[in-house]
Amino acid sequence: MQDAPLVSVVIPAYNASAYLAEAVESVLTQSHPRVEVIVVDDGSADNTRHVVGRFRDRVKYLHQVHQGAPEARNRGLQEAGGRLVAFLDADDYLLPDSLGLQAEILAARSRLGLVHSGWRMVDEKGLSIRDVQPWIEAPSLTLKNWLLWKPVFLGSMLFRREWLERVGKFSGQLSQTDDVDLVLRMALLGCRAGWNRRVTVCRRKHAGNLTLDGAQQARDLTAAIDRFYSLPGLPRHVRRMEARVKYFTHQWVIWNLYETGFVDLIPRQLRESLRYSPYPVGHAVFTWHTEFAKRLATAGRPHTEIRSFWPLFREASGLSEGEWTSLAPVLEWWTTVWWPYVRMEPELGRRELQRFHWPQARDAMKTVQLAIASGPFPLDLRVIRQYWTDLSNLGHLQGEHRDLVTSLYLTAFARSAFSREWILAAKALLAALFAGGHPKAWPAWLRFLRSGSRYALERGGLLRTLNSEFSAGSVRIVAREALPSRPGSVG
Read off the pLDDT of residues 142-181 as tens digits, 9 standing for 90 and up.
Answer: 999 999 999 999 999 999 999 999 999 999 999 899 999 9
Q: What is the predicted pLDDT for the residue at 261?
A: 87
Residue 209 has pLDDT above 80, yes or no: no
- Give strand pairing partners of 443: none
Highest mean pLDDT among 394-398, 427-431, 455-459: 427-431
Average pLDDT of the residues of the chain: 85
Residue 330 has pLDDT above 70, yes or no: yes
What are the CB-based long-range contacts (under 8 Å, 24+) for 351-360? 353/390, 353/391, 353/394, 353/396, 354/394, 356/329, 356/396, 356/477, 356/478, 357/477, 357/478, 358/391, 358/396, 358/477, 359/476, 359/480
The residue with greater pLDDT, 442 or 3, is 3
Residue 488 has pLDDT above 50, yes or no: no
Lowest mean pLDDT among 12-21, 243-252, 321-330, 399-408: 399-408
Q: What is the predicted pLDDT for the residue at 180?
A: 97
Lowest mean pLDDT among 355-359, 361-365, 435-439, 476-480: 476-480
Q: What is the predicted pLDDT for the residue at 451?
A: 63
User: How far is it, in rounded angstroms, from Cα 320 to Cα 324?
Assistant: 6
Band of residue 459 on the pLDDT scale cut at 50, 70, 90: very low
Band of residue 110 on the pLDDT scale cut at 50, 70, 90: very high
Nearest-CA neighbor of 472 among 278, 313, 279? 279
Sorted by sequence, the CB contacts under 8 Å of residue 165 that are 6+ apart come out as none
* CA dist 368 → 136, 435, 473 (Å): 23, 17, 14
Other beta carbons within 10 angstroms of residue 215's beta carbon come to: 15
Band of residue 440 on the pLDDT scale cut at 50, 70, 90: low
Lowest mean pLDDT among 123-132, 205-214, 219-228, 450-459: 450-459
Q: What is the predicted pLDDT for the residue at 378?
A: 59
Region 128-139: what's the mean pLDDT? 92
The residue with greater pLDDT, 403 or 237, is 237
Q: What is the predicted pLDDT for the residue at 121?
A: 94
Band of residue 35 on the pLDDT scale cut at 50, 70, 90: very high
Q: How many Cα atoms within 13 Å fall on the side-chain side of residue 408?
A: 28
Residue 111 has pLDDT above 70, yes or no: yes
What is the share, in percent, of the chain residues with pLDDT greater than 70? 83
Q: What is the predicted pLDDT for the residue at 233?
A: 86
Residue 68 CA, distance from chain mean position: 27
Q: What is the predicted pLDDT for the residue at 400?
A: 59
Residue 309 CA, distance from chain mean position: 18
Residues 55 and 26 sit within 8 Å (Cβ to Cβ): no
Q: What is the predicted pLDDT for the residue at 464?
A: 45
CATH topology classification for 7-208: Spore Coat Polysaccharide Biosynthesis Protein SpsA; Chain A (3.90.550)
Sorted by sequence, the CB contacts under 8 Å of residue 120 that are 6+ apart come out as 95, 128, 129, 130, 131, 132, 199, 201, 202, 203
Q: What is the predicted pLDDT for the residue at 370?
A: 79
Residue 207 has pLDDT above 80, yes or no: no
For residues 278-291, one letter each, b for 16 or more C-beta atoms within 10 angstroms of the residue's C-beta and e for the rest, the string is bbbbbbbbbbbbbb
Residue 92 has pLDDT above 90, yes or no: yes
Lowest mean pLDDT among 110-114, 244-248, 366-370, 401-405: 401-405
Region 190-194: what's the mean pLDDT? 97
Which amino acid type is present at position 257?
A: L
The pLDDT tens digits of the residues spanning 245-287 come to 999 899 999 998 998 889 999 999 999 999 998 888 988 899 8
Highest mean pLDDT among 225-239, 338-352, 424-438: 225-239
The pLDDT tens digits of the residues spanning 59-74 come to 999 999 999 999 999 9
Residues 32 and 62 sit within 8 Å (Cβ to Cβ): no
Band of residue 358 on the pLDDT scale cut at 50, 70, 90: low
Q: What is the predicted pLDDT for the residue at 458?
A: 45
Measured N-to-C along each axis, helices 361-373 and 402-418 cross at an angle, to the nearest 10 degrees, of: 10
Band of residue 484 on the pLDDT scale cut at 50, 70, 90: very low
Residue 346 has pLDDT above 80, yes or no: yes
Residue 453 has pLDDT above 80, yes or no: no
User: How far is it, in rounded angstroms, from Cα 371 to Cα 375?
Assistant: 6
Residues 376 and 296 sit within 8 Å (Cβ to Cβ): no
Region 427-456: what's the mean pLDDT? 68
What is the share, in percent, of the chain residues with pLDDT greater than 90? 53
